[in-house]
Chains A and B, each alone.
Chain A
Amino acid sequence: MAFDPADRYRLSPRVGLRPEPFGALAYHYDTRRLVFLKSNDLVALVRSLESHASAADAIDAVVDPTTGRRSAYVTALASLCESGVVEPLLEPAA
Protein backbone atom coordinates (compact mmCIF):
# COMPACT_ATOMS: atom_id res chain seq x y z
CA MET A 1 0.00 0.00 0.00
CA ALA A 2 1.38 3.40 -0.96
CA PHE A 3 2.37 5.67 1.91
CA ASP A 4 -0.03 8.52 2.55
CA PRO A 5 0.98 11.14 5.15
CA ALA A 6 -2.71 11.71 5.87
CA ASP A 7 -3.08 8.16 7.24
CA ARG A 8 -2.18 6.88 10.65
CA TYR A 9 0.83 4.55 10.97
CA ARG A 10 2.75 2.60 13.56
CA LEU A 11 6.04 0.80 14.00
CA SER A 12 5.29 -2.78 12.96
CA PRO A 13 5.07 -5.14 15.93
CA ARG A 14 7.06 -7.59 13.77
CA VAL A 15 10.05 -5.24 13.83
CA GLY A 16 12.84 -5.00 16.39
CA LEU A 17 14.51 -1.59 16.83
CA ARG A 18 18.02 -1.48 18.24
CA PRO A 19 19.34 1.97 19.21
CA GLU A 20 22.69 2.83 17.61
CA PRO A 21 24.85 5.97 17.62
CA PHE A 22 23.66 6.78 14.08
CA GLY A 23 19.98 6.19 14.86
CA ALA A 24 18.77 2.60 14.94
CA LEU A 25 18.89 -0.77 13.29
CA ALA A 26 15.50 -2.15 12.38
CA TYR A 27 15.04 -5.85 11.81
CA HIS A 28 11.87 -7.25 10.32
CA TYR A 29 11.34 -10.73 11.72
CA ASP A 30 9.08 -11.81 8.85
CA THR A 31 11.04 -10.59 5.84
CA ARG A 32 14.38 -10.92 7.70
CA ARG A 33 15.37 -7.56 6.28
CA LEU A 34 17.68 -5.18 8.09
CA VAL A 35 17.01 -1.49 7.64
CA PHE A 36 19.11 1.41 8.89
CA LEU A 37 17.37 4.41 10.43
CA LYS A 38 19.99 7.04 9.90
CA SER A 39 19.05 9.69 12.44
CA ASN A 40 17.83 9.84 16.00
CA ASP A 41 15.00 12.18 14.98
CA LEU A 42 13.78 9.61 12.49
CA VAL A 43 13.82 6.97 15.23
CA ALA A 44 11.83 9.26 17.51
CA LEU A 45 9.39 9.93 14.69
CA VAL A 46 8.88 6.24 13.97
CA ARG A 47 8.29 5.48 17.64
CA SER A 48 5.79 8.32 17.94
CA LEU A 49 3.72 7.51 14.85
CA GLU A 50 1.11 5.53 16.70
CA SER A 51 0.26 8.38 19.06
CA HIS A 52 -0.69 10.75 16.26
CA ALA A 53 -3.80 10.84 14.10
CA SER A 54 -1.69 10.95 10.93
CA ALA A 55 1.89 10.60 9.83
CA ALA A 56 1.79 14.27 8.85
CA ASP A 57 0.89 15.23 12.42
CA ALA A 58 3.70 13.07 13.76
CA ILE A 59 6.18 14.74 11.42
CA ASP A 60 4.99 18.19 12.46
CA ALA A 61 5.51 17.24 16.10
CA VAL A 62 9.09 16.16 15.50
CA VAL A 63 10.33 18.45 12.75
CA ASP A 64 11.21 22.05 13.29
CA PRO A 65 9.27 23.74 10.43
CA THR A 66 11.83 26.53 10.11
CA THR A 67 14.49 24.10 8.91
CA GLY A 68 12.22 22.85 6.15
CA ARG A 69 13.19 19.15 6.27
CA ARG A 70 9.63 17.90 6.20
CA SER A 71 9.80 16.37 2.73
CA ALA A 72 12.85 14.34 3.72
CA TYR A 73 10.87 12.71 6.52
CA VAL A 74 7.94 11.99 4.22
CA THR A 75 10.37 10.26 1.85
CA ALA A 76 11.97 8.36 4.72
CA LEU A 77 8.63 7.15 6.07
CA ALA A 78 7.50 6.11 2.59
CA SER A 79 10.61 3.99 2.28
CA LEU A 80 10.08 2.47 5.73
CA CYS A 81 6.48 1.72 4.80
CA GLU A 82 7.62 -0.05 1.65
CA SER A 83 9.97 -2.27 3.65
CA GLY A 84 7.27 -3.00 6.24
CA VAL A 85 9.06 -1.29 9.14
CA VAL A 86 6.06 0.99 9.59
CA GLU A 87 2.56 -0.05 8.66
CA PRO A 88 -0.84 1.62 8.31
CA LEU A 89 -3.00 1.61 11.40
CA LEU A 90 -6.63 1.80 10.50
CA GLU A 91 -8.09 2.34 13.98
CA PRO A 92 -8.43 6.00 14.98
CA ALA A 93 -6.06 7.39 17.58
CA ALA A 94 -7.22 6.79 21.14
Chain B
Amino acid sequence: MSNIPKTPPLVEQLKGGLDAPICLTWELTYACNLACVHCLSSSGRRDPEELSTAEAKDLIDQLAALQVFYVNIGGGEPMLRKDFFEIVEHSVTNGVGVKFSTNGTYLDRAAAERLVALPYLDVQISLDGMTPEVNDAVRGEGSHAKALEAMGHLRDVGFEDFKISIVCTRHNVDQLDEFKALADDHGAQLRITRLRPSGRGVDSYHDLRLTNPQQRQVFHWILDHPDVLTGDSFFHLNALTTETGGPNLPGLNMCGAGRVVCLIDPIGDVYACPFVIHDEFLAGNVRDAGGFAHVWQESTLFTELREPTSAGACASCGSYDACQGGCMATKFFTGLPLDGPDPDCIHGHADEALAGIASGSAPRPSQDHSRPGAAVPVALTRKH
Protein backbone atom coordinates (compact mmCIF):
# COMPACT_ATOMS: atom_id res chain seq x y z
CA MET B 1 0.00 0.00 0.00
CA SER B 2 2.95 2.27 0.61
CA ASN B 3 3.53 2.59 -3.12
CA ILE B 4 0.37 4.61 -3.72
CA PRO B 5 1.69 8.15 -3.41
CA LYS B 6 -1.36 10.22 -2.61
CA THR B 7 -0.77 11.81 0.75
CA PRO B 8 2.14 12.75 3.01
CA PRO B 9 3.82 9.90 4.93
CA LEU B 10 1.42 8.22 7.32
CA VAL B 11 3.45 8.90 10.44
CA GLU B 12 3.52 12.62 9.62
CA GLN B 13 -0.25 12.61 9.28
CA LEU B 14 -0.70 10.71 12.52
CA LYS B 15 1.45 13.27 14.30
CA GLY B 16 -1.07 15.90 13.23
CA GLY B 17 -3.77 14.01 15.12
CA LEU B 18 -6.91 12.16 14.15
CA ASP B 19 -10.59 12.89 14.77
CA ALA B 20 -10.58 10.11 17.35
CA PRO B 21 -7.84 8.13 19.04
CA ILE B 22 -6.65 4.85 17.53
CA CYS B 23 -5.97 3.42 20.92
CA LEU B 24 -7.50 4.65 24.10
CA THR B 25 -6.73 3.56 27.65
CA TRP B 26 -9.50 3.83 30.20
CA GLU B 27 -8.67 3.24 33.82
CA LEU B 28 -11.96 2.12 35.38
CA THR B 29 -11.01 2.56 39.01
CA TYR B 30 -8.16 3.64 41.26
CA ALA B 31 -9.05 0.79 43.61
CA CYS B 32 -6.55 -2.03 43.67
CA ASN B 33 -5.80 -4.96 45.93
CA LEU B 34 -2.14 -4.75 44.99
CA ALA B 35 0.36 -1.93 45.39
CA CYS B 36 2.89 -2.50 42.62
CA VAL B 37 5.96 -0.33 43.05
CA HIS B 38 5.83 0.82 39.41
CA CYS B 39 2.04 1.42 39.23
CA LEU B 40 1.68 4.14 36.59
CA SER B 41 -1.55 5.45 38.19
CA SER B 42 -0.48 5.24 41.88
CA SER B 43 -3.58 3.14 42.49
CA GLY B 44 -4.89 1.66 45.71
CA ARG B 45 -7.99 3.43 46.99
CA ARG B 46 -11.15 4.03 44.99
CA ASP B 47 -11.86 7.69 44.25
CA PRO B 48 -15.33 8.84 45.38
CA GLU B 49 -15.70 10.81 42.14
CA GLU B 50 -15.27 7.80 39.84
CA LEU B 51 -17.67 7.56 36.88
CA SER B 52 -21.00 5.93 37.71
CA THR B 53 -22.29 2.97 35.75
CA ALA B 54 -24.55 5.27 33.74
CA GLU B 55 -21.67 7.66 33.02
CA ALA B 56 -19.43 4.78 32.00
CA LYS B 57 -22.04 3.48 29.57
CA ASP B 58 -22.60 6.96 28.17
CA LEU B 59 -18.86 7.27 27.59
CA ILE B 60 -18.88 3.97 25.69
CA ASP B 61 -21.71 5.31 23.52
CA GLN B 62 -19.60 8.39 22.78
CA LEU B 63 -16.63 6.20 21.81
CA ALA B 64 -18.85 4.05 19.59
CA ALA B 65 -20.10 7.18 17.80
CA LEU B 66 -16.47 8.19 17.18
CA GLN B 67 -15.72 4.70 15.82
CA VAL B 68 -13.12 3.99 18.47
CA PHE B 69 -12.74 0.32 17.68
CA TYR B 70 -11.50 -0.82 21.06
CA VAL B 71 -10.46 0.42 24.47
CA ASN B 72 -7.73 -0.81 26.76
CA ILE B 73 -9.37 -1.03 30.15
CA GLY B 74 -7.19 -0.92 33.21
CA GLY B 75 -7.00 0.56 36.67
CA GLY B 76 -6.37 -0.03 39.48
CA GLU B 77 -7.82 -3.47 39.26
CA PRO B 78 -10.84 -3.11 36.95
CA MET B 79 -12.47 -6.32 38.15
CA LEU B 80 -12.92 -4.70 41.56
CA ARG B 81 -15.75 -2.60 40.12
CA LYS B 82 -19.05 -4.29 40.88
CA ASP B 83 -20.33 -3.22 37.46
CA PHE B 84 -17.23 -4.50 35.64
CA PHE B 85 -19.07 -7.08 33.54
CA GLU B 86 -21.97 -4.72 32.91
CA ILE B 87 -19.60 -2.09 31.50
CA VAL B 88 -17.61 -4.58 29.44
CA GLU B 89 -20.73 -6.20 28.02
CA HIS B 90 -22.19 -2.79 27.11
CA SER B 91 -18.96 -1.97 25.29
CA VAL B 92 -18.56 -5.14 23.23
CA THR B 93 -22.22 -5.20 22.24
CA ASN B 94 -21.90 -1.63 20.93
CA GLY B 95 -18.93 -2.28 18.65
CA VAL B 96 -16.23 -1.08 21.02
CA GLY B 97 -13.94 -4.05 21.62
CA VAL B 98 -12.29 -4.40 25.00
CA LYS B 99 -8.84 -5.45 26.05
CA PHE B 100 -8.56 -5.29 29.80
CA SER B 101 -5.57 -5.60 32.07
CA THR B 102 -5.89 -7.43 35.35
CA ASN B 103 -3.61 -8.77 38.02
CA GLY B 104 -5.73 -11.93 37.93
CA THR B 105 -6.71 -12.03 41.59
CA TYR B 106 -10.44 -12.06 40.83
CA LEU B 107 -10.25 -14.04 37.62
CA ASP B 108 -11.59 -17.33 38.94
CA ARG B 109 -13.07 -20.19 36.95
CA ALA B 110 -16.53 -18.61 36.84
CA ALA B 111 -15.16 -15.28 35.63
CA ALA B 112 -13.06 -17.05 33.00
CA GLU B 113 -16.15 -18.83 31.68
CA ARG B 114 -18.04 -15.56 31.49
CA LEU B 115 -15.16 -13.84 29.70
CA VAL B 116 -14.59 -16.55 27.11
CA ALA B 117 -18.25 -16.28 26.09
CA LEU B 118 -17.93 -12.58 25.18
CA PRO B 119 -17.06 -11.52 21.64
CA TYR B 120 -14.50 -8.79 20.95
CA LEU B 121 -12.91 -9.22 24.34
CA ASP B 122 -9.28 -9.76 25.18
CA VAL B 123 -7.64 -10.24 28.55
CA GLN B 124 -4.18 -9.25 29.62
CA ILE B 125 -2.64 -10.70 32.78
CA SER B 126 0.16 -8.67 34.31
CA LEU B 127 3.27 -10.49 35.46
CA ASP B 128 6.67 -9.03 36.19
CA GLY B 129 8.73 -12.08 37.06
CA MET B 130 8.85 -15.77 36.23
CA THR B 131 9.47 -16.56 39.88
CA PRO B 132 7.65 -15.28 42.98
CA GLU B 133 10.97 -13.88 44.12
CA VAL B 134 11.31 -11.56 41.14
CA ASN B 135 7.60 -10.87 40.59
CA ASP B 136 6.41 -10.35 44.14
CA ALA B 137 9.20 -7.90 44.94
CA VAL B 138 7.51 -5.56 42.47
CA ARG B 139 3.85 -6.61 42.56
CA GLY B 140 3.40 -7.80 46.15
CA GLU B 141 3.37 -11.05 48.04
CA GLY B 142 1.22 -13.78 46.52
CA SER B 143 0.67 -11.91 43.25
CA HIS B 144 2.73 -14.37 41.21
CA ALA B 145 0.59 -17.29 42.35
CA LYS B 146 -2.65 -15.40 41.66
CA ALA B 147 -1.56 -14.43 38.15
CA LEU B 148 -0.59 -18.01 37.34
CA GLU B 149 -3.92 -19.28 38.69
CA ALA B 150 -5.80 -16.83 36.46
CA MET B 151 -3.79 -17.95 33.42
CA GLY B 152 -4.66 -21.54 34.25
CA HIS B 153 -8.37 -20.71 34.35
CA LEU B 154 -8.19 -18.94 31.00
CA ARG B 155 -6.39 -21.89 29.44
CA ASP B 156 -8.82 -24.36 30.99
CA VAL B 157 -11.87 -22.63 29.53
CA GLY B 158 -10.21 -22.40 26.11
CA PHE B 159 -9.59 -18.63 26.03
CA GLU B 160 -7.21 -18.41 23.09
CA ASP B 161 -4.54 -15.78 22.63
CA PHE B 162 -5.00 -13.97 25.90
CA LYS B 163 -2.06 -11.74 26.68
CA ILE B 164 0.63 -12.09 29.34
CA SER B 165 2.00 -8.61 29.90
CA ILE B 166 5.45 -7.95 31.27
CA VAL B 167 7.00 -4.63 32.20
CA CYS B 168 10.68 -5.13 31.42
CA THR B 169 12.96 -4.50 34.37
CA ARG B 170 16.60 -5.18 35.06
CA HIS B 171 15.49 -8.08 37.25
CA ASN B 172 13.28 -9.92 34.75
CA VAL B 173 15.00 -9.12 31.46
CA ASP B 174 16.95 -12.38 31.55
CA GLN B 175 13.66 -14.28 31.81
CA LEU B 176 12.22 -13.22 28.45
CA ASP B 177 12.68 -16.68 26.92
CA GLU B 178 10.92 -18.23 29.91
CA PHE B 179 8.05 -15.73 29.68
CA LYS B 180 7.70 -16.65 26.01
CA ALA B 181 7.59 -20.36 26.90
CA LEU B 182 4.97 -19.64 29.57
CA ALA B 183 2.81 -17.82 27.03
CA ASP B 184 3.22 -20.61 24.47
CA ASP B 185 2.30 -23.17 27.11
CA HIS B 186 -0.97 -21.31 27.79
CA GLY B 187 -1.88 -20.68 24.17
CA ALA B 188 -1.32 -17.04 25.07
CA GLN B 189 0.56 -14.17 23.45
CA LEU B 190 3.45 -12.46 25.19
CA ARG B 191 3.49 -8.68 25.49
CA ILE B 192 6.48 -6.81 26.84
CA THR B 193 6.51 -3.08 27.49
CA ARG B 194 8.86 -0.43 28.61
CA LEU B 195 9.06 0.66 32.26
CA ARG B 196 8.17 4.31 32.79
CA PRO B 197 8.86 6.52 35.80
CA SER B 198 5.13 7.27 36.11
CA GLY B 199 2.89 7.06 39.16
CA ARG B 200 4.71 5.18 41.91
CA GLY B 201 7.28 4.43 39.22
CA VAL B 202 8.84 7.83 39.97
CA ASP B 203 10.29 6.21 43.09
CA SER B 204 11.22 2.79 41.65
CA TYR B 205 12.36 3.70 38.15
CA HIS B 206 16.01 4.07 38.96
CA ASP B 207 16.10 0.70 40.72
CA LEU B 208 14.18 -1.14 38.02
CA ARG B 209 15.20 0.44 34.71
CA LEU B 210 17.20 -1.55 32.22
CA THR B 211 20.92 -1.03 31.98
CA ASN B 212 22.35 0.00 28.63
CA PRO B 213 23.52 -3.56 27.76
CA GLN B 214 20.10 -4.89 28.80
CA GLN B 215 18.38 -2.39 26.51
CA ARG B 216 20.46 -3.70 23.61
CA GLN B 217 19.53 -7.22 24.62
CA VAL B 218 15.80 -6.34 24.52
CA PHE B 219 16.13 -4.64 21.14
CA HIS B 220 17.59 -7.76 19.54
CA TRP B 221 15.21 -10.06 21.41
CA ILE B 222 12.20 -8.18 20.03
CA LEU B 223 13.60 -8.33 16.50
CA ASP B 224 14.09 -12.08 16.95
CA HIS B 225 10.52 -12.55 18.22
CA PRO B 226 8.18 -10.73 15.82
CA ASP B 227 5.12 -12.43 17.33
CA VAL B 228 5.70 -10.76 20.70
CA LEU B 229 3.66 -7.58 21.26
CA THR B 230 5.34 -4.43 22.53
CA GLY B 231 2.70 -1.69 22.41
CA ASP B 232 5.29 0.10 20.23
CA SER B 233 6.77 1.19 23.55
CA PHE B 234 10.47 0.63 22.82
CA PHE B 235 10.78 2.97 19.85
CA HIS B 236 13.58 4.93 21.57
CA LEU B 237 15.73 1.83 20.97
CA ASN B 238 15.53 2.38 17.22
CA ALA B 239 18.54 4.64 17.73
CA LEU B 240 20.46 1.35 17.63
CA THR B 241 19.76 1.03 13.92
CA THR B 242 22.49 3.57 13.29
CA GLU B 243 24.86 0.97 14.75
CA THR B 244 23.27 -2.18 13.37
CA GLY B 245 22.26 -0.82 9.98
CA GLY B 246 19.30 -3.16 10.37
CA PRO B 247 15.56 -2.63 10.58
CA ASN B 248 13.55 -0.64 13.10
CA LEU B 249 11.45 -2.41 15.66
CA PRO B 250 7.99 -3.14 14.24
CA GLY B 251 5.24 -0.63 14.95
CA LEU B 252 4.61 3.09 14.82
CA ASN B 253 7.88 4.85 15.49
CA MET B 254 6.52 7.91 17.25
CA CYS B 255 5.13 9.30 20.48
CA GLY B 256 1.36 8.98 20.18
CA ALA B 257 0.45 11.12 23.20
CA GLY B 258 -2.58 13.26 22.39
CA ARG B 259 -2.13 12.38 18.72
CA VAL B 260 -3.32 8.78 18.42
CA VAL B 261 -3.59 7.73 22.07
CA CYS B 262 -4.86 9.17 25.33
CA LEU B 263 -5.91 8.13 28.80
CA ILE B 264 -9.28 8.53 30.48
CA ASP B 265 -8.82 8.15 34.22
CA PRO B 266 -11.46 6.80 36.65
CA ILE B 267 -12.91 10.26 37.38
CA GLY B 268 -13.14 11.11 33.67
CA ASP B 269 -10.01 13.22 33.41
CA VAL B 270 -8.41 12.96 29.97
CA TYR B 271 -4.61 12.87 29.87
CA ALA B 272 -2.31 12.78 26.85
CA CYS B 273 -1.21 9.22 27.54
CA PRO B 274 -1.39 6.58 30.30
CA PHE B 275 2.04 7.56 31.54
CA VAL B 276 1.51 11.28 32.14
CA ILE B 277 -1.02 11.57 34.93
CA HIS B 278 0.01 15.10 35.79
CA ASP B 279 -1.82 18.44 35.61
CA GLU B 280 0.52 19.58 32.85
CA PHE B 281 -0.86 16.87 30.55
CA LEU B 282 -4.52 17.11 31.58
CA ALA B 283 -6.64 18.04 28.54
CA GLY B 284 -10.12 18.10 30.10
CA ASN B 285 -12.81 15.86 31.54
CA VAL B 286 -15.42 13.71 29.84
CA ARG B 287 -18.03 15.30 32.15
CA ASP B 288 -17.34 18.72 30.54
CA ALA B 289 -19.75 20.09 27.93
CA GLY B 290 -19.13 18.35 24.61
CA GLY B 291 -17.91 15.20 26.29
CA PHE B 292 -14.87 13.24 25.24
CA ALA B 293 -14.97 14.27 21.58
CA HIS B 294 -14.68 17.94 22.51
CA VAL B 295 -11.67 17.26 24.72
CA TRP B 296 -9.98 15.14 22.06
CA GLN B 297 -10.68 17.48 19.16
CA GLU B 298 -10.55 20.93 20.75
CA SER B 299 -8.36 20.96 23.85
CA THR B 300 -5.48 23.41 23.82
CA LEU B 301 -3.08 20.78 25.13
CA PHE B 302 -3.81 18.21 22.43
CA THR B 303 -3.71 20.89 19.74
CA GLU B 304 -0.21 21.80 20.93
CA LEU B 305 0.94 18.18 21.06
CA ARG B 306 -0.10 17.79 17.42
CA GLU B 307 2.11 20.61 16.24
CA PRO B 308 5.52 19.77 14.78
CA THR B 309 8.07 19.11 17.49
CA SER B 310 11.59 20.39 17.71
CA ALA B 311 14.47 17.93 17.98
CA GLY B 312 16.04 20.35 20.46
CA ALA B 313 19.26 19.03 21.93
CA CYS B 314 18.89 15.89 19.80
CA ALA B 315 19.05 17.83 16.52
CA SER B 316 22.76 17.17 16.05
CA CYS B 317 22.44 13.43 16.72
CA GLY B 318 22.30 11.17 13.70
CA SER B 319 19.82 8.86 15.43
CA TYR B 320 17.00 11.36 15.93
CA ASP B 321 15.02 10.22 12.89
CA ALA B 322 15.19 6.68 14.23
CA CYS B 323 14.37 7.26 17.91
CA GLN B 324 12.34 10.51 17.74
CA GLY B 325 13.94 11.61 20.98
CA GLY B 326 12.14 8.89 22.93
CA CYS B 327 9.28 9.01 25.40
CA MET B 328 7.79 12.31 26.57
CA ALA B 329 6.49 10.88 29.85
CA THR B 330 9.82 9.33 30.75
CA LYS B 331 11.63 12.59 30.16
CA PHE B 332 9.06 14.59 32.09
CA PHE B 333 9.06 12.48 35.25
CA THR B 334 12.84 12.24 35.36
CA GLY B 335 13.05 16.03 35.23
CA LEU B 336 14.58 16.20 31.75
CA PRO B 337 13.58 18.72 29.05
CA LEU B 338 10.97 17.34 26.64
CA ASP B 339 12.98 18.41 23.59
CA GLY B 340 16.13 16.58 24.61
CA PRO B 341 17.27 12.96 24.87
CA ASP B 342 15.34 10.25 26.66
CA PRO B 343 16.93 9.19 29.97
CA ASP B 344 17.35 5.73 28.42
CA CYS B 345 18.99 7.15 25.29
CA ILE B 346 21.01 4.21 24.03
CA HIS B 347 23.91 6.50 23.16
CA GLY B 348 24.01 7.80 26.74
CA HIS B 349 23.27 11.37 25.64
CA ALA B 350 21.06 12.00 28.66
CA ASP B 351 23.42 10.60 31.28
CA GLU B 352 25.05 13.89 32.12
CA ALA B 353 21.79 15.82 32.34
CA LEU B 354 20.20 13.06 34.39
CA ALA B 355 23.08 13.10 36.87
CA GLY B 356 22.53 16.83 37.25
CA ILE B 357 18.90 16.52 38.34
CA ALA B 358 18.84 17.14 42.08
CA SER B 359 17.23 14.36 44.06
CA GLY B 360 13.54 15.12 44.64
CA SER B 361 13.40 17.93 42.08
CA ALA B 362 11.73 16.00 39.25
CA PRO B 363 7.93 16.42 38.87
CA ARG B 364 5.67 14.20 40.97
CA PRO B 365 2.33 12.77 39.77
CA SER B 366 -0.59 15.11 40.47
CA GLN B 367 -2.62 12.48 42.25
CA ASP B 368 -1.88 9.59 44.56
CA HIS B 369 -4.47 6.95 45.44
CA SER B 370 -1.98 4.68 47.18
CA ARG B 371 -3.25 2.97 50.28
CA PRO B 372 -1.32 4.31 53.27
CA GLY B 373 1.47 1.95 54.19
CA ALA B 374 0.71 -0.42 51.33
CA ALA B 375 3.68 0.37 49.13
CA VAL B 376 5.99 -2.58 48.76
CA PRO B 377 9.65 -1.72 48.83
CA VAL B 378 11.79 -3.08 46.03
CA ALA B 379 13.46 -5.84 47.95
CA LEU B 380 15.70 -6.92 45.13
CA THR B 381 19.19 -5.64 45.31
CA ARG B 382 20.11 -3.28 42.54
CA LYS B 383 22.05 -5.21 39.96
CA HIS B 384 24.90 -3.87 37.82
Contacts and interface: CB of A to CB of B under 8 A. Distances in A.
A83 to B, nearest CB: 10
A38 B10 CA distance: 7
Grouping DSSP codes into helix (H, G, I), strand (E, B) and loop, the B interface class, with mixed when no group exceeds half, is loop
A60 interface: no
B109 to A, nearest CB: 25
Q: For the side of the interface on B, what is the size category?
A: 20 to 34
B2 interface: yes
Nearest to B16: A21
Interface stretch (A2-10, A25-33, A47-55): A25-33
A39 B9 CA distance: 11
Contacts of B22: 25, 34
Contacts of B13: 20-22
Contacts of B18: 20-21, 25
B67 interface: yes
Given A37-B1, A38-B1, A16 B6 contact: no
B155 to A, nearest CB: 19
A66 to B, nearest CB: 16
A27 B69 contact: yes
A25 B99 CA distance: 19
Grouping DSSP codes into helix (H, G, I), strand (E, B) and loop, the A interface class, with mixed when no group exceeds half, is mixed
B361 interface: no
Given A20-B19, A41-B6, A36 B70 contact: no
A27 B4 CA distance: 21
A17 to B, nearest CB: 8
A73 B97 contact: no
B124 to A, nearest CB: 12
A56 interface: no
A76 B196 CA distance: 37
B95 interface: yes
Nearest to B13: A22
Interface string B102-126: 0000000000000000011010000
Nearest to B92: A29
Contact of A27 (B3, B7, B19, B70): B70
A38 B67 contact: no
Interface of A: 16, 18, 20-23, 25, 27, 29, 32, 34, 36-42, 69, 72-73, 75-76, 79-80
Interface of B: 1-4, 6-8, 10, 13, 18-20, 22, 67, 69-70, 95, 97, 99, 119-120, 122
Given A22-B7, A22-B8, 6 more contacts: A18-B20, A23-B6, A25-B22, A39-B1, A39-B7, A40-B6
